[in-house]
Amino acid sequence: MLTFLILILVAVVVSLVSICVGRYDMSIGDVVRILLSKVLPLEKTWDSTMENVVFKLRLPRIIAAFMVGSALSISGATYQGMFKNPLVSPDLLGVSSGACVGAALAILAHLGTIGIQIGAFLGGVLAVSITITIPKLMKNKSSIMLVLAGVIVGGFMSSIMGLLKYVADPETELAEITYWQLGSLAKVAKGSIISVAPAIIIAGAILIAMRWRLNILSLGENEARSLGTNVSLTRGIAIVCSTILTACSVCISGTIGWVGLVVPHLGRMLVGPDNTKMLPVTLLLGGAFLVLVDTLARTLTGAELPLSILTGLIGAPFYFWLLVKQRVNIQ
Amino acid sequence: MRRTRKLLAIILCAVFLLGVLSGCGSQQQSSEPTVTEKTIVDMAGVEVKVPGEVKTVVNLWPSSNELMLCLGAGDYLVGTMDFVKQLPWVNAVYPKIKDVPAMEVNAEELLEVDPDLIITANADDAAMLREAGLCAVTLMFNDYDSMKKATHILGDILGGEHKEKSNDLVDYIDSNIAKVENALKDLKDEDKPMVYYIQGQRNQGLYSTTGGGTIMEQWVTYGGGKFATADIGKGMQLKDVTPEQILTIDPDIVVIGGPAQHELYEEIYAASEWKDIKAVKNEKVYIIPNGCFPWDRFGGESAMQVLWAAKTFHPDLVDVDMVTEVKDFYKKFVGYDMTDEEATNMLNGKGPKGE
């Protein structure tokens, strides 16, 4: 409980710091006054540009970063628990590679930002649907079959991706596809946040609500069944919710690596493997982490840095550190 | 315990909602009243209100940077692109470019600069910047017609002498086209050479080209040639065509554009499969002039590309002195006095000092 409260505090502090920094120079006092002016009747001592920066540029990005970060983290945590495998990330069942294909097709067809978002979402959901159908066709319900199906679909989608990149115009379309694949919140707008927020909040709430069932799933299929749990139904709901979370995130930010893999580990390190505690903690951690990374992305240089570059640079060494630390603990 | 947890969840939701709502609230904030403003329709078809007097411009597309120089409006630039700053001819005709900082599409950074106008090539970028409270227009063009339209829009925005220059530039394009069409009016179809264009923005080999419907097809056609790749594909996206396709066409003339043109020129004469192709055998491989922007691509200087093409394809039918033409263009539009030597260098695709 204490950890949880501290993490809420951390998330709030990170968001407040994030809203105060940026390439547009203004004092912390101004930012605080602008924020407070929405609830308190304050005299306007700032110009409207500052207000624009705070409410139209920084706030939407912080909200989006928090949403995407927590969505990716809890879907990663769900997958890792479900498949009892710490190497699993949300794209195990092909959601990211499918979303990439959908987005790339939309970019090639010049469908604009909204088209790219819809394409990414449909692509991700379609890829996972194929993955889920394969074990059904084989009449084999084991999770290893599901993982294999995910590998097949992921590999197939990567090849399609290669083909799409090959036919793309290198100066415009290819650049856009590559940038999209590296993930960015630079083009996030209020409209797109509002359109994905309900789905993310509902899917996330379902996962949080069924987190003790995930505990049972992680015991193993036979054990879970003997405890009277409907394994395929529970697993099905978990997969659908995780897919929606990842697909929604990907469609506003592009693919962002490492978050769904590393953050659940950090959560587990803080409160242990019990999903009832771990999922809410992971949600806060993931949100705060991506807000931090996105703040770096928009402040380090004049150009926007793609997020996957930063999450990779931070995430990979961090993952290594986690592994080292865990081994020490075991001994 | 349970209760506190529920309470926390509610508080968390409330904080979220508050954030979203306050974000919405700021939309109603009206922008500051400007003394005069005019409404223009940009190249993306969007109506944009621009200040009556535009004195500071951040220009985030190479072609529109060159177009501003051609309208004598370089002094308004308060932000440009690295790519533009590195072009030798831009530095020669407008030395002040080195003091103009390079910028990117970054709303906060641009708000810090707070220019009167931002020019982009991408409608999404412009919309995003306008959302952030900046004045941004899309001036994307990619053939003579859209270039004339964009030139008029830029003239309307800048006003005054620049408006006159924009009219003059459009007239100049039209008169050049009319001039070569008149000179070539008796040209029979079978006398039109087959022209193959190699695009050398960077060296992507001898088979990197563009397709039909591009500005390249336009100036080849105006210049009295047949565009070799017109039937192979459409648009700038034309992927590498296969060597067999080109060698089967057996082009009479090859024209090479872009910064990698000299490299490609060497390559084509060295390539064994080109040895017996008409263009190489008759030494009719030409380097396209390269100024503040490659003439073969969309920029103000492509007005002269029509003349160059006609003169290159049909030297006996077209009577133009390109050196004089270049010098007059730069004096009239860019406001730069060019020497004969410099003009010759530009026509040969070289830098101001012949490099």
Domain boundary, last residue among B168, B199, B226: B168
Stretches where chain A sits below pLDDT 70 are: 327-331
- CB atoms B132 and A53 under 8 Å: yes
Of B26, B106, B107, the CB nearest to A55: B26
Distance from CA of B329 to the nearest CA of A (A): 30
Has residue B310 been placed in a domain? yes
Distance from CA of B229 to the nearest CA of A (A): 17
Has residue B62 been placed in a domain? yes
Q: Give B-chain residues touching A186 at CB under 8 angstroms.
A: 106
Distance from CA of B262 to the nearest CA of A (A): 21
* Span B339-352, average pLDDT: 95
- CB atoms B133 and A8 under 8 Å: no
pLDDT band at B19 (very low <50, low <70, confident <90, very high): very low
- CB atoms B106 and A193 under 8 Å: no
Report the chain B residue with the minimal C-alpha distance to residue A171.
Answer: B237
Same domain, B110 and B210: no
* Span B124-135, average pLDDT: 90
B346: pLDDT strictly greater than 90: yes
Report the chain B residue with the minimal C-alpha distance to residue A67.
Answer: B16
Query: Percentage of chain B surpassing pLDDT 70?
Result: 89
- CB atoms B133 and A48 under 8 Å: yes
Q: Which of B6-15, B26-35, B330-339, B346-355 comes out lowest in average pLDDT?
A: B26-35
Has residue B335 been placed in a domain? no
Q: Give A-chain residues touching B25 at CB under 8 angstroms.
A: 38, 55
pLDDT band at B32 (very low <50, low <70, confident <90, very high): very low
- CB atoms A189 and B109 under 8 Å: no
Of B24, B31, B111, the CB nearest to A24: B111
Identity at B256, one-letter amino acid code: I
| H/E segment holding residue B137 | strand B136-138
Identity at A64, one-letter amino acid code: A
B17: pLDDT strictly greater than 80: no
Q: Is domain A61-324 annotated with CATH 3.30.70.1290?
A: no
Has residue B226 been placed in a domain? yes
- CB atoms B25 and A38 under 8 Å: yes
Sorted by where each begins, the domain ranges of chain A are 61-324
pLDDT band at B60 (very low <50, low <70, confident <90, very high): very high
pLDDT of residue B354: 86
B308: pLDDT strictly greater than 80: yes
Has residue B354 been placed in a domain? no
Residues within 8 A of B (CB atoms), A 91-150 only = 112-113
Give the residue from A190, A200, A212, A276 with the most B CB atoms within 10 Å of its CB, the best one to mutate: A190
* Span B34-52, average pLDDT: 89
Report the chain A residue with the minimal C-alpha distance to residue B16.
Answer: A63
B256/B285 Cα distance (integer angstroms): 8
Same domain, B188 and B255: yes
Of A51, A63, A302, the CB nearest to B29: A51
Q: Which of A47-56, A149-158, B238-247, B300-309 comes out lowest in average pLDDT?
A: B238-247
Report the chain A residue with the minimal C-alpha distance to residue B236.
Answer: A169
* Span B297-306, average pLDDT: 95
DSSP B163-180: HHHHHHHHHHHHHHHHHH
Residue B200: which CATH number? Answer: 3.40.50.1980
- CB atoms B237 and A173 under 8 Å: yes
Residues B77 and B87 sit within 8 Å (Cβ to Cβ): no
Question: How many Cβ atoms are within 10 Å of A329's Cβ, its own excluded?
Answer: 8
Spell out the residues 6+ positions from residue B290 whose beta carbon is closer than 8 angstroms to its own: B89, B257, B258, B259, B261, B346, B349, B350
Of B23, B32, B108, the CB nearest to A48: B32
What is the ipTM metric for this complex? 0.72
B43/B47 Cα distance (integer angstroms): 10
User: Total structural domains in chain B?
Assistant: 2
DSSP B151-217: HHHHHHHH-HHHHHHHHHHHHHHHHHHHHHHHHTTT--GGGSPEEEEEE-SS---TT----BTSHHH
pLDDT band at B27 (very low <50, low <70, confident <90, very high): very low
Distance from CA of A201 to the nearest CA of B (A): 10
- CB atoms A57 and B108 under 8 Å: yes
Spell out the residues 6+ positions from residue B258 whose beta carbon is closer than 8 angstroms to its own: B199, B200, B201, B202, B290, B294, B296, B297
Instruction: Tell me if chain B has a CB within 8 Å of the CB of A38.
Output: yes
Radius of gyration of chain A (CA): 20
Same domain, B49 and B156: yes
Radius of gyration of chain B (CA): 25
pLDDT tens per residue across span B251-285:
999 999 999 999 999 999 999 999 999 999 999 99
- CB atoms B12 and A302 under 8 Å: no
The whole domain housing B202 covers 184-320
Has residue B98 been placed in a domain? yes
Exposure b/e, A82-99, CB count within 10 A at least 16 = b: bbeebebbbbbbbbbbbb
pLDDT of residue A329: 56
pLDDT band at B4 (very low <50, low <70, confident <90, very high): low
Report the chain A residue with the minimal C-alpha distance to residue B202.
Answer: A171
Of B29, B103, B109, the CB nearest to A48: B29
pLDDT band at B29 (very low <50, low <70, confident <90, very high): very low
B40, two tokens: 């223009």
Same domain, B158 and B198: no
Of A8, A52, A303, the CB nearest to B106: A303
- CB atoms B22 and A57 under 8 Å: no
Q: Which of A25-39, B25-39, B211-225 comes out lowest in average pLDDT?
A: B25-39
Q: Give A-chain residues touching B82 at CB under 8 angstroms.
A: none
- CB atoms B106 and A23 under 8 Å: yes
Query: Would you say the C-alpha torsion A204, A206, A211, A215 has a positive or negative sign?
Result: negative
Of A166, A197, A302, the CB nearest to B109: A302
- CB atoms A24 and B114 under 8 Å: no
Same domain, B191 and B124: no
Has residue B130 been placed in a domain? yes
Has residue B105 been placed in a domain? yes
pLDDT tens per residue across span B182-206:
999 999 999 999 999 999 988 888 9
- CB atoms B16 and A63 under 8 Å: yes
B131/B128 Cα distance (integer angstroms): 5
B103: pLDDT strictly greater than 90: yes
| H/E segment holding residue B245 | helix B243-249
